[in-house]
């Protein structure tokens, strides 16, 4: 059986990136590209799309759930 060869490209610079077995920075081609990607996340260049919360929907904050009421005030459960 012949193994398929998959060419991977670095998501930052688009150069070829060696496989995970050969490259400690996979899926990036180098430590530099890995750090550039980390900087993009920390600088909020990447964002995960989300819908804004509506009235009465749950939100997560400080490790506990709270419910936002119609006035925009947070109500914690049990208090």
Return the higher-pLDDT residue of 75 and 27: 27
The pLDDT assigned to 30 comes to: 97
Evaluate if residue 69 carries a pLDDT over 50. yes
The pLDDT assigned to 5 comes to: 64
Q: Are 64 and 58 in contact (CB under 8 A)?
A: no
CA dihedral angle for residue 24, residue 30, residue 36, residue 41, rounded to 10 degrees:
-30
The pLDDT assigned to 78 comes to: 47
Q: Are 17 and 8 in contact (CB under 8 A)?
A: yes
Domain ranges of the chain: 8-42
Q: Give dist(CA 70, CA 6) in Å, integer.
A: 53
- In tens, the pLDDT along 4-60 reads 667 899 999 999 999 999 999 999 999 999 999 999 999 999 888 887 777 766 666
Q: Are 40 and 46 in contact (CB under 8 A)?
A: yes
Evaluate if residue 79 carries a pLDDT over 50. no
The CATH number of the structural domain formed by 8-42 is: 3.30.50.10
């Amino acid at each position: 059986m012949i193994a398929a060869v998959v060419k991977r490209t670095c998501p930052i610079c688009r150069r070829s990136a060696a496989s995970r077995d050969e490259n400690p920075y996979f899926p990036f081609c180098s430590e530099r590209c890995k750090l550039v990607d980390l900087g993009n996340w920390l600088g909020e260049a990447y964002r995960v799309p989300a819908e804004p919360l509506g009235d009465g929907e749950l939100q997560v904050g400080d490790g506990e759930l709270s419910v936002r009421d119609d006035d925009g005030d947070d109500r914690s459960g049990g208090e």
